[in-house]
Structure 1
Amino acid sequence: ASDFKKQMIDVAPVLASVNGLKWKIWSIDETNKEASGYYLFENETKLNTYLKNVFFVGMGNNATVSNIVVKKFEILEEPTAITRGPIGKN
């Protein structure tokens, strides 16, 4: 596994304890040196607290990460439920 993958494995248990985080899906494209994550928080307040106090602090201290883009989206609950999206699960 790449060094980045190893870092993410080390970070995952810490992230799992973040207040309000229901789940995160991790993804990576090693060929293009890109990674992404899809997060589900209990509410926007907890998401914003995480971004301010954890995410940007941690990413700012990680020399292997650059060009960070954060986008917030509203979940379309009805079609997500039809396609079995895990929005109601921990």
Structure 2
Amino acid sequence: MTQKILITKFNYNLSHAELRDLLLTVAGDFAAVPGCLWKIWLIDEGKNEGGAVYLFNNNDALEAFKASPLVQSVMSHPALSNFDFRITDIVAQPSVVTRAPLTAAVTI
């Protein structure tokens, strides 16, 4: 199966410090997501926008994550809104050249 990238964005209505504290609180839950190899957390304080880039083992793991109680709890948080999820394939060969943190399972 082919690894997949998930890119998420959302807006937040918290102070920047409160958002950072919230993210740290749930980081361990995200670290335990089955099939997720890594997650990079993103923030644009000027736009009150957060997000992430994830690498999943395969599309099945990504879809299970999207339907999980963890994602549902984040999406129902009253201070978070305007969620955007984008699923993409990986262009492996140039990504390897530019030192992307991919696993050996990526088809080159």
Q: TM-score, normalised by structure 2?
A: 0.77
Q: How many residues align?
A: 89
Structure 2 letter corresponding to 1:64:
A
Distance 1:78 1:59 in 2: 34
Question: What percentage of aligned pairs have identical amino acids?
Answer: 28
User: How big is the shift at 1:18?
Assistant: 0.7
Gaps of 5+ in 2: 1-15
d(CA) in 1 for partners of 2:57, 2:37: 6
Shift of 1:8: 0.3
Q: How does 1:2-17 map to 2 (within 5 A)?
A: 2-17=17-32
Alignment partner, residue 19 of structure 1: 34
Aligned residue in 2 for 1:51? 66
Which residue pairs with 2:86 in the alignment?
A: 71
SS, match of residue 83 in structure 2: coil
Please, what TM-score do these two structures have when normalized by structure 1?
Answer: 0.91
- Name the counterpart of 1:41: 56
Residues in 2 aligned to 1:55 and 1:6: alpha-carbon distance in whole angstroms:
17
Q: CA-to-partner distance for each residue in 1:18-52, whole Å, 9 max, x for gaps?
A: 11010000010112100110000110000000001
* Equivalent residue letter for 1:42: N
Which structure is higher in RCO with an 8 Å CA cutoff and minimum separation 6?
A: 2
Partner of 1:84: 99
Higher helix share: 1
Match of 2:45 in 1: 30
Q: Distance in 2 between matches of 1:48 and 1:20?
A: 10
Q: Distance in 1 between the 2:38 and 2:79 partners? A: 24
